[in-house]
Amino acid sequence: MTDVVVLATADWDHPLWTNKQHVAVSLVDAGCRVLYLDSLGLRPAQATGRDLRRITKRLWRGLRPPRRVQPNLWVWSPLVLPGVSGGLGVWLNRFSLALGLGVATALLGFRRPWLWTYNPLTASLLDLKSFSRSIYHAVDAVQEQPCMPRALIELQERRLCQRVDQVFVTSPQLERHLAPYARRIRFDPNVADQGHFASAMAMQQGAIPADLAGIPEPRVGFIGAVSSYKLDFSLIAAVSRAHPAWNFVFIGPTGEGEPYTDMALLNAEPNIYLLGQRSYNLLPRYCAGFACGWLPLRINPYTQAMFPMKFFEYLAAGLPVVASAIDSLSQFSEAAWLCDPTAVAFDVALRGCLAGEGPDLVTRLALAQEHTYKARTERMLHTLECLP
């Protein structure tokens, strides 16, 4: 049984599950034992209620041993200074992380585990040689997020790619960006918990949550973080004003990864509903009440390097999809409406989508069934088994 330390950039109990949590579970399902490390904090803490709450929770959890969240899967919250870029702070973080991780792995009986990291600063924080295998899984251009130390991340990410045994990436742009520095690199797009979201198609009308059922149809749905560095708020507002009979529902926290998001444009439109974050277990029930899923993304360096997890989640739920034509989605144009990020283009695509035109259900579901966590994890593990 392989032991794996997953160094994440998202806390385990974050309401929006990402690659990190899903991959940890998939590794356990594949027969591994996993220690999941909560985010170390890539950006400096901000004077916001959200960051202050996270710091308080981290202080409490950091003094406790790893907690088991399911068989063969434990979570530990390291005590480190967030957003440190050099000097004594880096030394303190390195010392604290090494000491705490040594204790945690000893308590669990881990011996020479693999390191599966999402943190581009890993090489400055951990001795990679202390792990029997090292993997960097690049899932975002995190340096392009607000308030991030861009130059530091880019420098350390290149260093990390040169030193790990394997680099995995989730978008063509990330592959192009990191390939010159990696000894071994493999592209596999983001995938979905296909069975979980497919349950939306079997739900009866009464299973739709009351807060969604009270909103008139048709409902155009979005699930994920509502942040202006990713979503085009001006486009969303323009489309909603042009179609007052349509209702646009957003499920997820506002300002995630962006401490000072201005929601004024969206709040001004009566047919835009910001319902806030919901439990992951409830998301298929919300999808069951949508006429389609959409991804009104900005076109910028961050989105051009991303592969939105929501794309295959929508498809798995049986929903037609309308999305901005970002680079990573272009190869899947047969299963979705991909358009320029303009109100005119989205108007045409949404009209057709709501009229039942475009890619049919069989095509959408077939694509979703090809892109599951189980299948991708099996491909990744096979790649690692073939390493010299």
Domains of the chain (ranges; CATH) run: 3-191+373-385 (3.40.50.2000), 194-370 (3.40.50.2000)
Residue 130: exposure state from Cβ atoms within 10 A (0-12, 13-18, ≥19): middle
Residue 226, both tokens: 């509502």
| d(C-alpha 348, C-alpha 299), whole Å | 19
Amino acid at 196: H
CB 19 within 8 A of CB 170: yes
Give 127-160 pLDDT, tens digit per residue.
999 999 999 999 999 999 887 888 999 999 999 9
Residue 387: exposure state from Cβ atoms within 10 A (0-12, 13-18, ≥19): exposed
At residue 388, the pLDDT reads: 81
Residue 151: exposure state from Cβ atoms within 10 A (0-12, 13-18, ≥19): exposed
At residue 146, the pLDDT reads: 85
At residue 64, the pLDDT reads: 82
At residue 224, the pLDDT reads: 94
Q: With a cut of 50, which residues of the chain have pLDDT below it?
A: 47
Beta strand 292-295 with 219-223 is parallel
